[in-house]
Amino acid sequence: MKTLAKTPVTIVTGFLGSGKTTLLRHILDNAQGRRIAIIVNEFGELGIDGEILKQCAIGCTEEEANGRVYELANGCLCCTVQEEFFPVMRELVARRGDIDHILIETSGLALPKPLVQAFQWPEIRSACTVDAVITVVDSPAVAAGTFAAFPDQVDAQRKLDPNLDHESPLHELFADQLASADLVILNKTDLISPADLEKVRAEVAEELPPAVKVIEASSGRLPLDVLLGLDAGSEDHIDARHSHHDHHHDGDDDHDDHDHDAFDSISIELPQAEERALMQALSQLVVAHGILRVKGFAAIPGKSMRLLIQGVGTRFDKHFDRAWAPDEPRTTKLVLIGQDLDAALLESTLRTALSA
C-alpha cells in the first residue's frame, strides 16, 4: 500500500495591508494544475479576504472553490488553534490525497510561532509539514517607521528616541513575524526610493536569523518555485526561534491573555451611502482615531453592484466587485481594526457624517 507523502503547508504572515491576500491570489492564479487548499484567517466578523479569494480564476466551479477555502473568522490563529484550526486541518488531512499544497493566510495581528508549533501535534505532524513561513513586509510602512502603514505617533516617538527602552506592540509583532520567517518578501518596493529600500533591508536584517533569505517584490509577483517547495520543515526548529511573546504560551495562568488584545475589531452596518461622502467620512475617521485597517462592502444608491473597500491607514482601494444578489440586503458592512477603538463613537460619527 502506497504511503502518502506529507502535504506541504505554506504560512503567509505579515502586517495588515502588507499584501498577503494579493500574494495568495498570485499563487492561485499561477497554480499550473496544483491542487491548493486555502485557510484564510479573518480578524473581524466579515470574511472579506475569503470572498475575494473565492473569486479567483483557479479553474474550478464555485462549489469546488467553497470546498477549498476555509475561513476561521473568530480571531487570530494563534489564539484559536485548538478551537478552529485543528478541526479544519483534520478535514484537510482526511482529503490530502486530493491536495498538493495548503496555504494559510494569518490575520495581520497573528503571531506565527504558535501556529507553526501546532504542526508538532502528532495527528498533524504525521500528515503535514510546514514548507515555509513567508513574512510579507510593507516596505513603505517600514521605511516610514510605522510598520503597518499608518502614522502611529507613539511608535514614531519610540523610533526617534534612542533612550526609550519600551517597544510598542506593533514593533514587537513585526519582530516576531520576522523571527519565525523562512523567507521574507519586501513588498511594494516599487513605491519607495533605493535609499529607503536599503534602510528597510537593514531594519529587517536586525530581526532575522542569518540563513533567512530576503527578496523584493511588487504586488507579490514572484515565481512560484521561489515561494513553494522550500521544504523548510519549520515545525522542527521553531522552538529555537526566540520571540517577544514566548512567555505567553508557556502554560502559566498569569499569561493567559492574548498577545494582541490591545487591538480591537469593530463591525459596523450602515444604510446605503453616496460613494464620495462615504470615502471622505472614512478618511477623516482614520486620521482622527488612528484606525489601522478598514475592510468591507458598501451599498451605493443607484448602483447594481456593491463597492469593495479596503483601506490601510489613509490609503484606500475600492472597486465594484459583483452584483447584489436578488435576495441580498443592500446595506454597507465595514470592519474597523485599530487600538482602543470606541465602537459607539465610531458608528455615531460615521452616521452623522453620512446624513449631513
Segment-wise mean pLDDT, segments of 10 residues, the chain, 356 residues: 75 84 87 87 67 62 66 65 78 88 80 85 91 92 72 40 45 82 92 93 87 85 88 84 54 42 76 94 88 87 92 81 90 85 92 87
Last residue of a domain, one of 209, 240, 271: 240
177 with 103, same domain: the answer is yes
Q: What is the pLDDT of residue 304?
A: 93
Q: What is the pLDDT of residue 73?
A: 65
128 with 183, same domain: the answer is yes
| DSSP code string of 45-75 | S--HHHHHHHTS--SS-HHHHHHHEEEE-SS
10 Å CB burial of residue 267 (0-12, 13-18, 19+) is middle
The set of cell numbers assigned to 213 is 533569505
218 with 267, same domain: the answer is no
Q: What is the pLDDT of residue 60?
A: 56
Last residue of a domain, one of 190, 209, 240: 240
* Tally of domains within the chain: 2
Q: What is the pLDDT of residue 274?
A: 94
201 with 350, same domain: the answer is no
Q: What is the pLDDT of residue 256?
A: 42
Domain membership of residue 305 (yes or no) is: yes
Is the backbone of residue 45 left (phi > 0), alpha (psi -120 to 50) or beta? alpha
Q: What is the pLDDT of residue 228?
A: 92
- Contact status, residue 201 vs residue 183, Cβ threshold 8 Å: no
Q: What is the pLDDT of residue 141?
A: 85
Domain membership of residue 338 (yes or no) is: yes
Q: What is the pLDDT of residue 62?
A: 60
Q: What is the pLDDT of residue 244?
A: 56
Q: What is the pLDDT of residue 290?
A: 75
87 with 207, same domain: the answer is yes
98 with 204, same domain: the answer is yes
Q: What is the pLDDT of residue 279?
A: 95
- State the CATH number of the domain containing residue 303: 3.30.1220.10
277 with 233, same domain: the answer is no
284 with 234, same domain: the answer is no
Q: What is the pLDDT of residue 142?
A: 87
Secondary structure E strands in the chain: 7-14, 36-41, 69-72, 101-105, 128-138, 183-187, 213-216, 263-270, 291-298, 305-312, 315-323, 332-339
Domain hosting 85: range is 7-240
102 with 230, same domain: the answer is yes
186 with 116, same domain: the answer is yes
113 with 229, same domain: the answer is yes
